[in-house]
Structure 1
């Protein structure tokens, strides 16, 4: 992975391919490997940049005192895009990454030309239903006790529960197991993660962020798992209606993490969207 120094700390990222720029944002307790499947296909004709954000599965701890609220991480995303000199960006976010996309757009998103929201937190769904609420509740624990709690994630049977990753992905357990390793083994990563989860519990900036989507005049795509049990499908429809140039694509046979469960289909949808919007101006 490449690295870049930002105000909050060192961010690792992957950077593959050439062409229209996609910046791909993952969710809570995930890293950039969420996008490995789609990137393998999209990097044939796009530049795919995927940072590992400090959302619980990162391996580079942030500086003490860094702002790890969702709004703070959204500012970090904007700084990341700026530091890499990326322009005409298609900003893509899945799960909590989609919440970050909304916050970046709310704050202006000067380098963002297109947006893709993929089965993500929105409106009042933060933390997201049973899965997110369980994780955020565990953040009330002291970091050392939170670490003990997370040791359960070594067991596949626990990872597959609805309170863990069971409703998020149908096929990605090996990837999920890797995502839980940093918080299970690193004190500094537990510190960051607890700070993040407590900030999520303290406030929800997403209702106001959703309303601000009315002011984004770039092409926008909402991709939603049709039977999602964590991110309500009606939220996908509402987001597409709020975005002036938004449209909705629902995907069957997947849980929340569409890029992990249906990577080829997701890549096809994104390639079509970027190509059509470029032709339409």
Structure 2
């Protein structure tokens, strides 16, 4: 695991290396880069995959106490990550986290050559759905995050709709989830960082302005959405694809929000096809232009 000193603190990341096209993969709240383990296993043979662990609760090193970890602050941190590694023309891929809209609206998308948006926060769905609202309530209460994530040590709690039950069709392996949650179980500073993000959502009008800014992203874009998503409305995927001038939509069957967990092979296949590394669309999914 490599590490990079950025303005907010140290960000750890995986770098598969190699001379292939650069793909940067981003995860959501209370996760780390292992969300992408199965997709990276497919892509790494002929792509350079970089997977940073964002300061969204699954990170192991606390950020500086004065770090801006609002939605916009984390988006700026992603831009800083790309700049620090001097990456240009990257394919930026994200799941669950909706920071692409903030990156574009803030004018920090110059290093992005192609964009892949999979089921994620969009429009005014911040925090997203039932689990997002539950997390926001916990973050607003003293000791709320410690209690909420402490309950997730009990494995049956992980499949409730208000926690992670609606995020995947099939349970995420317990060992993987233990790794995601352990920093929140053990560090009050990590809980502080997550609280900043969850409570750092701008007003609805600003969120909608961010989404509208995608009309200015004039490079290739793929929107891959879970057809059975209960947290990120499938209609949001269609609307995002329509906003993007070169947007293309694919709906992935038999999956909920965390497509890299439910359908990693199909998602990797769509990314490959989008990047010109394969000639056919994976079977079982519908693809349309914007």
State the TM-score, normalized to the length of structure 2.
0.91
Q: Is the 8 A contact 1:156 1:173 kept in 2?
A: no
- Further displaced range: 13-22 or 130-139: 13-22
- Further displaced range: 231-240 or 105-114: 105-114
Residue of structure 2 equivalent to 1:101: 100
Q: Is the 8 A contact 2:138 2:144 kept in 1?
A: no
Residue of structure 1 equivalent to 2:288: none
Q: Is the 8 A contact 1:165 1:176 kept in 2?
A: no
Q: Distance in 1 between matches of 2:35 and 2:251?
A: 19
Residue 33 of structure 1: how far off its partner (Å) = 0.6
Residue of structure 2 equivalent to 1:136: 136
Q: Distance in 2 between matches of 1:140 and 1:151?
A: 16
Count residues with an aligned counterpart: 273
Residue of structure 1 equivalent to 2:9: 9
Residue of structure 2 equivalent to 1:255: 256
Q: Is the 8 A contact 1:17 1:45 kept in 2?
A: no
Residue 261 of structure 1: how far off its partner (Å) = 1.2
What is the aligned-residue RMSD (CA, Å)?
1.4
Residue of structure 2 equivalent to 1:236: 237
Q: Is the 8 A contact 2:159 2:171 kept in 1?
A: no
- For residue 275 of structure 1, give the secondary structure of its aligned residue in structure 2: coil
| Deviations, residues 77-103 of structure 1 (Å, cap 9, x unaligned) | 00000001111111111001xx11221
- Superposed counterparts of 1:162-241, under 5 Å: 162-169=161-168, 170-174=170-174, 175-200=176-201, 203-204=203-204, 205-241=206-242
Which ranges in structure 2 are unaligned for 5 or more consecutive residues?
Answer: 279-290
| Deviations, residues 167-218 of structure 1 (Å, cap 9, x unaligned) | 1122314222321111111111111112222213x53543111100000100
Considering fraction of residues, name the structure with more helix.
1
Q: Distance in 2 between matches of 1:271 and 1:206?
A: 30
Q: Is the 8 A contact 1:25 1:94 kept in 2?
A: yes
Residue of structure 2 equivalent to 1:127: 127
Residue of structure 1 equivalent to 2:72: 71
